[in-house]
Chains A and B, each alone.
Chain A
């Protein structure tokens, strides 16, 4: 047992810190955190990563990846989260790219990977449907073969950032005769194709990130299909495992918790800092202790991957516990905001309103409710753990 970093890893950590110090600045943070400029801000950040060669660390080197070890990826992610910089938007570089690299053909790799690397295409994910949520394999969007094209009819829902997207990767049904997991194919669809409509979904957090995407006789060339027809479920599943690990956002919760502690220190109730209230301190430290455990659950999974072993059964807990911790932080932040957790800032400035972080607190609280629903609801995660880990 040994958790110390090698001299090489310590040098890498220094390099990461130096890069973040230069590349992540206040203006860019403001741009990324403002709804109107978010897309441009994130793309600017991703271009800075690209110029450093760090846009797609987990890709094979021949496509633009790095040779980072698991420990180095962990170091990068910890340092990135510590300064509050976002991850590259996962739909392109992490999700669809993993499937293209693993199952795509050479033409597909040459066409899509360089554009993802340079943030020239914005991707969204077409998985869920009105009738297929946690039970994803029940999806019904049809793809019928017509010559060299598929004709797509149906709709996708909860499509994050579809309003920005150039492309969508979709699970569609090419055959409905067998088991529901069979007959699903994985298609890459140009969002400018005739017949696609995007309808925004207004959500309780006041952001516009979710959409419904309708397909009305949309024609997609068959060369946009990944792998074999009818094997899409296998490709999609490989992605879900990845999604569950990244949703945990352990390092981001570490930063959020540190910020929350300082906010609470400054809040005064009857002359006493909220941090000195024993009931508050108990809730805060409950979260901190859970997070300390999860940090090492993540390290245990990473250490296993580094040795070429499958991540152990503990990795099934990362999504479940990671999102529980995120929500606990969001809930406590609302309580720190007090009265202001119920005020709408609107066009006022924070100083006019009288409280700086209330708007952020309530938006994150309501937005965060989704984390125990997406990526397979937490109840589904428990079913998966019961079946595959406990053998029930």
Chain B
């Protein structure tokens, strides 16, 4: 039993930390977010050169063959620096779906281009009405001869502005919320009939609402009608990744808040000497450690294919949302008036935590899934005999 990183993982971590130290001071970050699509194309090329874009992909496609721990390391460090480049959208979601379900021909064509930093992608799953139910899909996919045709609309497609290619979850059969009957289609964003309304998220990331009118898809990803089974593990891996990202954000917020309280003086003393504030910072520290513990639990369970994996992942997403609200709110409060300004990065970090909470379902949504899982009767597991005192 150990919670240490391998030598390679330690090197990746140190490399990203170095990149963040050199390129992600707050004013540098603001300049990056102000660029077209909300990130730096130059940074992205650098990521490719450093091999970071190859890490989760299979060795056959030129990848590093990394697992959940590797992704955790990367995303946590990105969180500490509040890195804006679309690793989640292009590498983990778009790339993850290609890796998991694309035909050999499509995968061998596209994955090396992602690794080389030449291809931006996105996963379009959400619709206006669907909230957190990922199977609640009315965008239609129908077959016309050899071709698949898309009609409908997708919303809040992260990296939807920069993406050259999309994977779209569409309904080929079944009723609106059925898990069966969902088909994933690969689509070029320059296709006739595809229109994008591009906007920014509160953390500066770009997103798009995209309409499809008789758009011809390039390829089916995975099996027709069985797209949900393909999405689920990829989205679960992305859940782990964004929770790691949130942990990095929480660490940065706690560090900054602690430093501020040690140096900011009022009534002739550092405000960190006040017990009321000390106890609040202990609560922030405890919340962060809870997320770390559940992250390690969920990541190890995923890596080891343990029966505890699903339960741990759901618990982690709940805790991440809950702890994020606490740490974010307290960080602003303890920074006082300065916490309300854009002169410090506190607000930007807090916004990232808010977005992560709602991504793929918020804390309440995941707690319901968690309750269904753990409260289901298990035969033989319930020994209800209780000690008489």
Take A2-B300, A282-B371, A386-B278 as given contacts and tell me if A289 and B318 are in contact as well, using a CB distance cutoff of 8 Å. yes
**Which parts of B304-334 form the interface with A (CB within 8 Å)?**
304, 306, 311-312, 315, 318-319
B298–chain A nearest beta-carbon distance, Å: 9
Cα of A259 to Cα of B312 in the assembled complex, Å: 20
Contact (Cβ within 8 A) B371 A1 = no
Q: Does B279 contact A (CB under 8 A)?
A: yes
Q: Mark B270-288, 1 if CB is under 8 A from A, else 0.
A: 0011010011011001100
Q: Which residues from B are CB-within-8-Å of A306?
A: 1-2
Partner of B293, one of A5, A84, A262, A294: A294
Contact (Cβ within 8 A) A261 B375 = yes
Contact (Cβ within 8 A) A317 B278 = no
A19–chain B nearest beta-carbon distance, Å: 19
Of A170-178, A229-237, A359-367, the one contacting chain B is A359-367
Partner of B375, one of A29, A275, A313: A275
Contact (Cβ within 8 A) A382 B279 = yes
Take A258-B383, A262-B382, A285-B370 as given contacts and tell me if A363 and B294 are in contact as well, using a CB distance cutoff of 8 Å. no
Q: Does B21 contact A (CB under 8 A)?
A: no
Q: Which residues from B are CB-within-8-Å of A348?
A: none
Considering the complex, give the chain A residue whose CB is closest to the CB of B299: A1
Q: How many A residues, CB 8 Å from partner?
A: 63
Q: Does A321 contact B (CB under 8 A)?
A: yes
Contact (Cβ within 8 A) A262 B315 = no
Contact (Cβ within 8 A) B289 A281 = no
Cα of A209 to Cα of B306 in the assembled complex, Å: 43
Contact (Cβ within 8 A) A364 B281 = no
Q: Does B290 contact A (CB under 8 A)?
A: yes
Q: Does B296 contact A (CB under 8 A)?
A: yes
Q: Which residues from B are CB-within-8-Å of A356?
A: 386
Cα of A289 to Cα of B371 in the assembled complex, Å: 10
Q: Among the interface residues B282, B300, B306, which one has the most CB atoms of the partner chain A within 10 A? A: B282
Considering the complex, give the chain B residue whose CB is closest to the CB of A34: B388
Q: Does B105 contact A (CB under 8 A)?
A: no
Q: Among the interface residues B1, B275, B282, B296, which one has the most CB atoms of the partner chain A within 10 A? A: B1
Q: Which residues from A are CB-within-8-Å of B3?
A: 1, 299-300, 303
Q: Does B37 contact A (CB under 8 A)?
A: no
Partner of B69, one of A1, A71, A295: A1
Contact (Cβ within 8 A) B377 A293 = no
Contact (Cβ within 8 A) A296 B296 = yes
Contact (Cβ within 8 A) A259 B386 = yes
Q: Does A288 contact B (CB under 8 A)?
A: yes
Contact (Cβ within 8 A) B278 A392 = yes
**Which parts of B361-389 form the interface with A (CB within 8 Å)?**
367, 370-371, 374-375, 377, 381-384, 386-389
Chain B contact residues, majority secondary structure: helix
Contact (Cβ within 8 A) A390 B384 = no
Q: Does A4 contact B (CB under 8 A)?
A: yes
Q: Does B262 contact A (CB under 8 A)?
A: yes
Contact (Cβ within 8 A) A382 B388 = no
Contact (Cβ within 8 A) B382 A296 = no
Q: Which residues from B are CB-within-8-Å of A313?
A: 285, 289
Considering the complex, give the chain A residue whose CB is closest to the CB of B286: A317
Considering the complex, give the chain A residue whose CB is closest to the CB of B258: A390
Q: Does A33 contact B (CB under 8 A)?
A: yes
A30–chain B nearest beta-carbon distance, Å: 8
Q: Mark A350-364, 1 if CB is under 8 A from B, else 0.
A: 100000110110011
Q: Does A292 contact B (CB under 8 A)?
A: yes
A285–chain B nearest beta-carbon distance, Å: 5
Q: Does A15 contact B (CB under 8 A)?
A: no
**Which parts of A23-56 form the interface with B (CB within 8 Å)?**
29-30, 33-35
Partner of A293, one of B275, B311, B315: B315
Cα of A302 to Cα of B275 in the assembled complex, Å: 30
Partner of B286, one of A33, A299, A321: A321
Q: Does B165 contact A (CB under 8 A)?
A: no
Contact (Cβ within 8 A) A289 B261 = no
Contact (Cβ within 8 A) B319 A293 = yes
Given contacts A262-B383, A350-B388, 4 further A-B contacts (CB under 8 A): A29-B387, A35-B389, A317-B289, A390-B282
Residues in B lying within 8 Å of A, measured CB to CB: 1-5, 69, 258, 261-262, 272-273, 275, 278-279, 281-282, 285-286, 289-294, 296-297, 299-301, 303-304, 306, 311-312, 315, 318-319, 367, 370-371, 374-375, 377, 381-384, 386-389
Residues in A lying within 8 Å of B, measured CB to CB: 1-5, 29-30, 33-35, 71, 84, 207, 258-259, 261-263, 265-266, 275, 278, 281-282, 284-286, 288-290, 292-297, 299-300, 302-303, 306-307, 313-314, 317, 320-321, 350, 356-357, 359-360, 363-364, 379, 382-383, 385-386, 389-392
Of the A-B pairs whose beta carbons lie under 8 Å apart in the complex, a sample of 5, sorted by A's number, is: A258-B381, A293-B315, A300-B3, A314-B293, A360-B387
